[in-house]
Amino acid sequence: MKHLQYDEINYAELFAEFRNPNSGAVVLFSGEVRDNNKGRAVTHLEYEAYEPMANKMIAKILEEAKTRFKLNQAVCVHRLGKVDISGCAVVVITGSGHRKEAYDANRFIIDRVKNEVPIWKHEFFTDGTSEWGQNCDCVSNDHEHQHQHQHHEEAK
């Protein structure tokens, strides 16, 4: 499966496609574009990835989650290119016999994807500036920090 796409993500279709009769619980997380970040008004985002590596890493994270949480299904698709406000930037769907595993696995997958996979967000603001974002707040202890925390601002 391809985990990156330039087209809009239709999560309702994905949800239906990956339905599994062994799953009593299916969790769908959609990461959507906010109209603000740290007090600044955002117009849209653009995503870029080192595509072959990102695709491979997402596939590996999903396989790991399936084994670790005994999932029946695990899906993750991330957008590339321009995503407007309220657009779906990333979707994660997890299904298992019972809800605990589906919830825990969903969180595990989205955290790993955000922190590790070579995908980058370029935020565009209403004042005409743009900035390459960085997810890590460096306060969380739920993952290893392999970097320093910083943002790289640039004029439009």
Binding footprint of other proteins on the chain (CB under 8 A) = 31, 47-50, 52-54, 56, 78, 89-90, 110, 113-122, 132-136, 146-148, 150, 152, 154
Q: How far is the CB of 151 from other proteins (least distance, A)?
A: 8
Of the candidates 112, 141, 124, 131, which has an alpha carbon nearest to the alpha carbon of residue 54? 112
Q: Which is nearer to other proteins, 141 or 148 (CB)?
A: 148
Report the C-alpha gap between 99 and 58 in whole angstroms: 22
Residue-by-residue DSSP string for 23-72: -SEEEEEEEE--SEETTEEEEEEEEEE-HHHHHHHHHHHHHHHHHHHT-S
Q: How far is the CB of 39 from other proteins (least distance, A)?
A: 18
Q: How far is the CB of 98 from other proteins (least distance, A)?
A: 26
Q: Which is nearer to other proteins, 75 or 121 (CB)?
A: 121
Q: How far is the CB of 102 from other proteins (least distance, A)?
A: 19
